[in-house]
Amino acid sequence: MISINCYLVSFLYLLHLLANVSSQSYKTKEPIKITDSNWTNVLEGEWMVEFMAPWCPACKSFKDVWTEFAGWGYDLDITVGVIDVTENPGLSGRFLVTSLPTLYHIKDGNFRIYQGGRKTTDLISLIDEKKWNAIEPVAWYRNPNSIQMGVLGNFFTAAMFIRGIYNTMTDVYGIPEWLCYVIFAILTIIIGLILGLLLVLCCDNFFPAKYIPLPPERLAHKPKDDPTDDDDIIDDTVEQKQTKKTSLDSKGPSELSGSASQVASDSEVRKRTQKAKE
């Protein structure tokens, strides 16, 4: 009977250990690889995340320290992760990584850049003694979970995609570099024109030009239809006729005969000229 109880207690203890291991399965001795698809997991709980690249000499020398620190994750109740920027360029843009390796302390969505010592003891004391409280979180406009940083991450992803196309064109197809630049420039101009045209169409569709009526005083003022102007024109014509009439009346008989003789002489000269030509 005693042996059965011992076996039962041992079995229950084993189940308890398995439950603890399963509940803490994410806290392993190896850093967890974080990618574009699962990076939102760092928004919950406490994390230490390293940004690295395989070609980085400093990252290679720091790898053993980071792996050793990850082994303390269960005791410190923290999750240790690693991000390869060559495979996840969008995360490097989202977190605005400018140097490697870069260490982030993340707790409940608050991001802090750790720039202290890089020994295992320094990292352990950072978490155990809560020294991270002395580090100011990143500003709201640099928060990796914000919209603007997500857009920046997409730009980084697009840049790496274009770089991959460039490498394929030069290495696989043997296209000269200058020709690749020309192709990219032409594509950039075409895409810019298309986007500009779409923007103009959207603006015209959603924000059409509004008709602005003329003010009442301008509508009331119509110079062409103003009757006073017509009266002035008529009066001027009448005045011109009256002026001509008075000028003729003012001339005497001698002046009128002189002008008539002058007209007659002019007509005779014209007739002689025509006969000479014939």
Angle formed by the axes of helices 177-206 and 147-167, nearest 10°: 140
Residue 141: DSSP 8-state: G
Residues 42, 234: Cα–Cα separation, whole Å? 92
For residues 75 and 28, is the Cβ–Cβ distance under 8 A?
no
For residues 37 and 70, is the Cβ–Cβ distance under 8 A?
no
Give the residue from 162, 141, 163 showing the smallest Cα distance to 152. 141
Provide the residue type at 113 as one letter: I
Residues 189, 71: Cα–Cα separation, whole Å? 52
Place of tokens 């064109």: 169
Residues 130, 195: Cα–Cα separation, whole Å? 50
Give Cα separations from 192 to 100, 135, 161, 197 (angstroms).
34, 43, 18, 9
Catalytic: which of 56, 180, 202, 203?
56
Catalytic: which of 59, 180, 202, 203?
59
Question: Is 202 among the residues known to form the active site?
Answer: no
- Token pair for 42: 């760092």
- Token pair for 149: 């940083």
Question: Is 56 among the residues known to form the active site?
Answer: yes
Residues 63, 58: Cα–Cα separation, whole Å? 9
Provide the residue type at 140 as one letter: W
The catalytic site residues sit at: 56, 59
